[in-house]
A and B are shown apart, each in its own frame.
Chain A
Amino acid sequence: MRILISLVSGALFGLGLIISGMTDTKKVQGWLDIFGEWDPTLAFVMGGAMLPMAIAWKATRVRTPLTADKFPATNTAGIDRDLIIGSVFFGIGWGLAGLCPGPAIASLSFGGSSGVVFASAMIIGMLSTRRLQTFFSKTENTTKTLT
């Protein structure tokens, strides 16, 4: 049942992404391009997605998930450094290629070699994150002990 729900959700997500035009990098970059020919499509996509999601979050207050005991706990970390630095890195790459993780997978079958290179690099980036984090926290600790 949980696998079936995952399959249906992935299918709806994929359909939504291609219908909305979010697999077209020119539309995404057009939305970010405030000094060029601005394309508002992404705002409509975000707005459209908010409606069902807001209703779903409201429903989480009065019921439990169909196949689980409870809903995921809220991340209580607050707005920390990793959240902002990570999002800035993500934004730079997003603007540069016009692709984010969802559309990258959704367009993998028809996006040609660029799409494959992007998705591969993205996965390499994801897998190396923890290693880089440990490296940086180590160097940070060393500098702290040195000073």
Chain B
Amino acid sequence: MPMDWIYGLVGGVLIGCAGAFLLLGNGRVMGASGLVFGMFETIDRRIWIENLAFVSSLFIVPMLFVRPLNIGPTHASENVIVVAIAGLAVGFGTRLANGCTSGHGVCGISRFSLRGIAATMAYILAGAVSVVVFKHFLGAI
């Protein structure tokens, strides 16, 4: 287990560096939900290409490194309905709240943004309740 924490810390620093790089380089906040959404609804063509570059890289680089780094499977639920409902909730929620774990969590908390901190508390609390209800009461996951 402690080995997992070290990997977590190292990976976390890389994630932070990714955000720092995008912020200091392009002056943009690294929010995964916003960047993904921006591929579908961006009026400015220049920004659209940047979003596409970020998301493509986020897709391709793990594909290339998953074997060499011996990364395990995602262990995602095989239940299509559960996964689809979860996906819809995540998509809708992150757009309504204008951010997810990377935008509100990583980028928001590190600048002591009240919005980021409030959003993070809300989704962690809802996530914990969700796991308790779906796992321990309903046995859906």
Residues of A within 8 A of B23 (CB): 53, 56-57, 60, 65, 71
The answer to whether B66 and A109 have CB atoms under 8 Å apart is yes
**Please, how many angstroms separate the alpha-carbon atoms of A68 and B25 in the complex?**
8
The answer to whether A75 and B98 have CB atoms under 8 Å apart is yes
Give the number of residue pairs across the A-B interface with Cβ within 8 Å: 481
Contact for B114 among A43, A47, A78, CB less than 8 A: A78
Q: Which residue of chain A has its CB nearest to the CB of B71?
A: A18
Residues of A within 8 A of B84 (CB): 117-118, 121
Give the number of residues in A that approach B within 8 Å (Cβ atoms): 116
Contact for B11 among A17, A66, A132, CB less than 8 A: A17
Give min CB distance, B141 to chain A, whole Å.
6
**Please, how many angstroms separate the alpha-carbon atoms of A54 and B75 in the complex?**
32
Residues of B within 8 A of A128 (CB): 91-92
Residues of B within 8 A of A106 (CB): 58-59, 62
The answer to whether B135 and A79 have CB atoms under 8 Å apart is no
Q: Which residue of chain B has its CB nearest to the CB of A40?
A: B5
The answer to whether B11 and A20 have CB atoms under 8 Å apart is yes
Give min CB distance, A76 to chain B, whole Å.
9
Binary flags per residue of B95-107, CB closer than 8 Å to A gives 1, else 0: 1111011101111
Q: Which residue of chain B has its CB nearest to the CB of A52?
A: B16
Known A-B contacts A71-B23, A87-B126; the reply to A14 vs B59 at CB < 8 A is: yes
Give min CB distance, A94 to chain B, whole Å.
5
Known A16-B12, A16-B17, A17-B62; further 5 A-B contacts with Cβ < 8 A: A82-B96, A83-B119, A91-B129, A92-B126, A101-B102
Q: Which 8 A-B pairs have the closest CB atoms?
A: A125-B91, A20-B11, A48-B12, A91-B126, A121-B87, A86-B97, A95-B130, A10-B57
